[in-house]
Amino acid sequence: MRELRALLREWRDALHRRVPRPVLRLIARVPAGWWRRILAGAFIVVGIVLPFLFSESSGFMNATIIAVAYAVMSLGLNVVVGFAGLLDLGYVAFYALGAYSLGWFGSDFFFKAHLHVFVHGVAAQEVGIHLNFILILIAAAIICAVAGMLIGLPTLRLRGDYIAIVTLAFGEIIGVVAVNGTQIHLGSGMTLTAGNLGISAVDSPWFPGLGTFNVLNLRPWYWLILGILLVVLFVNVRLRDSRLGRAWVALREDEVAAVSMGIPLVRTKLLAYSIGAAMGGMSGAFFGAYYTTVNAGQFAFGFSIFILAMVIIGGLGSIWGALVGGMLLGYINNYIIPDVLNSLPSKFGLNFQLTQVEFGIFGFLLVLVMLVRPQGLLPERRRRMEMTGAIGAEDAQLVEASSAVGPAGRSS
């Protein structure tokens, strides 16, 4: 870190020598708070033009799209686990519900119904319910928010690993319902889900100006999920700095103290569940459209852990950590393991492919991160203080308390 800073300083000095004076003066006039905005703007612009550097249907583009969609889920789970400290092991439930929102409201699956709202092309002629993709996203968010609240209700009085088990059980139940949905009849020959066969003829999103969404041209997909990511990021940042965000942190740190200071426990916790769930649902709906199928087999327990691994590797409670963790594991899962390193074991004379053991690799990463760097790659300040084993639990609180009063405090 120190070397990096020295390097940056060197570059800055070099720049100073070369850049003409008036430009420097202009730069100096930019108010301090604006640098952050300019940086964010630059990132967004880079994000938008990025796909022009790669071919329209390259494997890397595909991996990037999936990685961004994972990052959206990771940000959602970060609200529940990171901000509010409620360990949710059934996050796959919201992936499933989001994807099924697309399956229900954007395909010919409910073939007795006829409803078309702002749809374009083939979808406008087909039977079934066809909503515009934006409406589907909203529907997915609402359905998941409600489901998140329902799942959260029984866990309100529980803590720690009991919450983990109840959410896990809910996730598994939703997985079972997805598989067995073919047995649940809704009348006129329609069923709740298509089970392991999958709902396959889902609509492609349609946005004027973005081009057609298909396998040959991945750029519109990328811009779509980038848009979702930016919205979710914005919501995350605003939430973190809001009254609600502080209430979550307070509950996470000390429930009794927080409640006695007047934080409404039920509402605060349920809001964490439902907001996190809504983000997962939006990403799930996107995945349904992108994979062009909603298949019960996608919703396994392993996926919940996969998303959890992103949040933890990135740094619990840290927005940028969740983003980086999501992107990183997305690339590892969809690019590095299958495309780059897959044949590695065979080079050592071992008879298996790396894709077979990807969950083992993630498990190993989880253990490694917890043992070596429990605060994650980009830790949140408060977590870093807790997780560094050097100071014990009580000490950490003392340090925190003294830094809050002391004159030299608040230096992260």
Partner 1 sequence: MEAQTVTPRLPAVAPRPLAILRKYVGRWGLVVALAALPIFYGIHDLTTGYQVFVGGHPVVHHDLSRLGFNFADGLSNGAIWALIAIGYTLVYGIIELINFAHGDVFMIGSFTATGLWGTFGLGLGTGAFGVIFGLLATLIVTMIVTGALNVLIERVAYRPLRSAPKLAPLITAVGFSFILQNVGLLWRGGSPLSVPDLLRAQSTVFHISGVPIYRGYILALAVMIPLVFGLAAFISNSRAGRAMRATAQDPEAARLMGINVNTTISLTFLLGGMLAGAAGLVYALYETNVWYFQGFKAGLIAFTAAVMGGIGNVRGAVLGGLIIGVIQSISDNRIQGGTWTEAIVFGYLIAIMVLRPRGLLGEETREAG
Where along the sequence are the contacts to partner 1 (CB under 8 A)?
Answer: 85, 87, 89, 153-162, 164-166, 168-170, 172-173, 176-177, 179-180, 183, 253-256, 259, 265-266, 301-302, 305, 308, 312, 316, 352, 356-357, 359-367, 370-371, 374, 386-387, 389, 392-394, 396-397
- By beta-carbon proximity to partner 1, the closer residue of 108 and 400 is 400
- By beta-carbon proximity to partner 1, the closer residue of 159 and 238 is 159
Given the structure tokens 């690019």, which residue do they identify?
Answer: 335
Q: How far apart are CA 251 and CA 277, in angstroms?
A: 19
DSSP 283-347: HHHHHHHHHT-B-GGG--HHHHHHHHHHHHHH-TT-HHHHHHHHHHHHHIIIIIIIIISTTHHHH
Residue 323 CB, nearest distance to partner 1 (Å)? Answer: 20
- By beta-carbon proximity to partner 1, the closer residue of 218 and 271 is 271
- By beta-carbon proximity to partner 1, the closer residue of 61 and 271 is 271
Q: Are 362 and 305 in contact (CB under 8 A)?
A: yes
Residue 253 CB, nearest distance to partner 1 (Å)? Answer: 7
- Taking alpha carbons only, the member of 291, 307, 285, 302 closest to residue 172 is 302
C-beta contacts of 382-387 below 8 A and 24+ residues apart: 382/249, 382/253, 382/317, 383/315, 383/316, 383/317, 383/318
Q: Are 149 and 268 in contact (CB under 8 A)?
A: no
- By beta-carbon proximity to partner 1, the closer residue of 29 and 157 is 157
Residue 194 CB, nearest distance to partner 1 (Å)? Answer: 15
Name residue 202's beta-bridge partners. 107
Given the structure tokens 């003409």, which residue do they identify?
Answer: 20
- By beta-carbon proximity to partner 1, the closer residue of 5 and 347 is 347
CB neighbours of residue 156 within 10 Å: 14
Residue 113 CB, nearest distance to partner 1 (Å)? Answer: 27
- By beta-carbon proximity to partner 1, the closer residue of 181 and 284 is 181
Residue 393 CB, nearest distance to partner 1 (Å)? Answer: 5
- By beta-carbon proximity to partner 1, the closer residue of 131 and 164 is 164
Q: Beta strands 128-131 and 185-187: pairing type?
A: unpaired
Q: Are 271 and 146 in contact (CB under 8 A)?
A: no
Q: Which tokens belong to 164? A: 């983990």
Residue 314 CB, nearest distance to partner 1 (Å)? Answer: 13
- By beta-carbon proximity to partner 1, the closer residue of 38 and 173 is 173
Residue 33 CB, nearest distance to partner 1 (Å)? Answer: 34
Q: How far apart are CA 109 and CA 107, in angstroms?
A: 5
- CA quadruple 381, 327, 221, 106: dihedral sign: negative
Residue 357 CB, nearest distance to partner 1 (Å)? Answer: 4
Residue 156 CB, nearest distance to partner 1 (Å)? Answer: 6
- By beta-carbon proximity to partner 1, the closer residue of 84 and 102 is 84
- By beta-carbon proximity to partner 1, the closer residue of 203 and 386 is 386
User: Under 8 Å CB-to-CB from 130, ≥6 apart: which residues?
Assistant: 105, 106, 107, 115, 116, 117, 119, 123, 124, 203
Residue 254 CB, nearest distance to partner 1 (Å)? Answer: 7
Residue 203 CB, nearest distance to partner 1 (Å)? Answer: 30
DSSP 203-262: PPP--TTS---SSS--HHHHHHHHHHHHHHHHHHHHHHTSHHHHHHHHHHH-HHHHHHTT
Given the structure tokens 């390097």, which residue do they identify?
Answer: 7
Q: Which tokens belong to 313? A: 């590797």
